[in-house]
Amino acid sequence: MAPGHCWLGVRRSCGLCRQLFFGASGGVQSVKDREGTSDLQKDRSLTCPARTCSLTEKDTNSSKVTNVDYSRFERIVKQDDLQDGLAIAVAVCGRKGWNSEVVNGVYRQDGVLNGRARLRKSDGTRWFKFTDNHKWMISRFPDGRPLGEAVAEDAAEDPRRIREPWHVCTEELSWEMDELMSVTPGECSGCGQLLRRALRCSQCRGVSYCDLKCQKADWQFHRRSCSRKQCIRLAESAAGEQVETGVTSAQKTQDKSHPSSRPTCTSSKIKCKKHAASGTGSWEEVQLLPWARERLMSLLGGSVESNTSFFLLSAFVLIGPQALEGLPELRVSMPNSGRVEVIGVKEIDGLASMWPNQGEKRHLFDLSFQVVFKATWLADVGMMSMDGSVYFDDFTSNLGNHAEAVYGMSIDFANSSESVVEMQRKAMQETIGAAKASVQEALGADGWSIAQGRGLMHRVHLRLRRFALDFEAK
C-alpha cells in the first residue's frame, strides 16, 4: 500500500457516510408515511359503514365468554377435599368422530390433573373428568388446563377441530360400557405409586403399571382377572378345547367309553386338575370361590344355598361339629337382658383360587360379604328386636395370615324393627335410638374391641382366621 493513502479509501468512506445519513432520514419518512396511511384508513372507514358493521359482527361472534360459576366450583372442591375417596383422576384416550357439546356447569368430582398418567394418541392427549350431571367429559390439552374453564362453542364431529378446553361426550353409551374407550387409573396396579407414564396390559388394556418390573411382578395376580383372557377361555371351553399355558405337551383326548378317565399332562411337576366352577381342565389355577362361599356359610351360621352351578364335591366342604371345634358361639350379652347374635352371612363375592407355583401351591383370596346380626332386649314397652349387617369389604389372604389383623368393618342398621307387643310408633323409635349405642358396643366392630377380645365381631374374626387356615390347607 502506497504511503499517504487510507486503507479504506476516500470513496468508500464518503459512500458509507451518505448511506448512514439517508438511512436515518428515510426511517423518519417511513414513520410519517405510516401515520398518513392510518389517517387515510380512518377516513375511508367513515365512508364505508357497511364494511365496518360486518367486521364488528365477526369480532363479536369470535369472542368467547366463560360460563362457569367459580364460587360454586370452589364449594364443591372444598366438600370433596373433606371426604376422602371421592376425588378421582383417570386419563382417557379417545377415538375419532366425537359428538361433543360445551360444558355447562361445574365438575362434580375431580382430582389433581397435573402429574397424573397421560396416554398419547395421534389426535392428542385427553384428560377425563365428571360433570355436575353425571356426564363425563374430555380435554384436548395435555396440561388439563385450569379447573373450571369452559367456553361456548358449537359441537364438532372431528376432535382436532375443537379448540376449547372441555367437552362432554353425548354418546348413548356411558364411559364404562364404551369398548372403544381406553381408560386407565392414575396409580400403578403393582406398587400403587402415581404413574408418570402409562404401561398398560397388552391383553385387557384395563390396568396400568409404572414400569415393566411391576407389570411382571403383578402378572401372577392379574392373570386371573384379565378380561380378554377370560373371554378366550370361555370360548375355547365352549368349543371343547383344553387350554394349556406354559406346558409344552400334546393335547390329550379323553376316551368317551371311560368317563372316569381324566386328562393327564406329560410334565411330572404339574398335575391337571378339574376346574371347580366350570368343570373344564385347567393347567393354571383351581377356582375355590364355591368352596369359600360354603365354608363361610358353615363358619358364620348361614344356611347352605342350593345352587347347582357351584358343582361342589362333598370333600370340599366340612360341615358339622368338627368345623366349629374350639370356636365360641356367635352370641354376646347386652344390658337389659338382651343379646346380639349372628344369624347368617350373605352376598359373598370376590375371588379365591389356587395354582401351582414352582412346585408349590399359591393361595389367594379377596372376598367381601355381609354378616347379618339380630339384637333383642327388654324395654319398658316390651321385648324389642333390631336387625342389621356388618360389611366386610377387604377380607384378603394377606390379612388372613396374621393373627392380630383387623378387617375393615362398617355397621348398617335395618330401617324397620319388630316388637312383640303393639305400641305407639313414636315410643318405639325412641327406644330403638337409645338402644343403638348398646348394640354397637356389644358388636365391637372396631379395632380396639377386637384387640381386647371383646364383642361379637371378635368372635367372627376367630372364625375368619379359621377360614384362612383351612384355605391355605387346600
In the numeric block, the cell 401515520 is attached to 35
- Segment 354-362 shows an average pLDDT of 70
Query: Taking phi first (over 0 means left), then psi (-120 to 50 degrees means alpha), and beta for anything else, what does residue 25 get?
Result: alpha
- The number of CA neighbours under 13 Å toward the Cβ of 396 is 6
Question: 405: which residues sit within 8 A by CB, 6+ positions away?
Answer: 399
Q: Are 250 and 241 in contact (CB under 8 A)?
A: no
What pLDDT score does 262 carry?
A: 38
Identify which has the larger pLDDT, 102 or 446: 446
Q: Is the pLDDT of residue 144 over 70?
A: no
Q: Could you tell me the residue ranges of all domains in the chain?
A: 70-185, 286-472
d(CA 447, CA 273): 40
Q: Is the pLDDT of residue 201 over 50?
A: yes
In the numeric block, the cell 354418546 is attached to 171
- Segment 140-162 shows an average pLDDT of 40
3-state secondary structure of 140: coil
Residues in the chain, overall count: 474
User: For residue 79, what is its C-alpha cell?
Assistant: 366438600
pLDDT one-digit tens code per residue, 59-106: 334 444 333 344 444 454 455 444 444 333 333 333 333 333 333 222
Identify which has the larger pLDDT, 196 or 263: 196
Q: Is the pLDDT of residue 373 over 50?
A: yes
What pLDDT score does 213 carry?
A: 83
Highest mean pLDDT out of 70-84, 132-146, 364-378, 445-459: 364-378
φ, ψ of residue 100 to 5 degrees: the values are -115, 155
What pLDDT score does 473 carry?
A: 80
pLDDT one-digit tens code per residue, 277-294: 333 334 466 888 888 888
Amino acid making up residue 277 = A
Lowest mean pLDDT among 158-162, 275-279, 295-299: 275-279
Topology of the domain comprising 286-472: Bactericidal permeability-increasing protein; domain 1 (3.15.10)
The pTM for the full model equals 0.37
d(CA 132, CA 120): 27
d(CA 310, CA 65): 61
pLDDT-derived band at 194 (thresholds 50, 70, 90) equals low
C-alpha distances in angstroms, 92 versus 74, 139, 189? 25, 9, 17
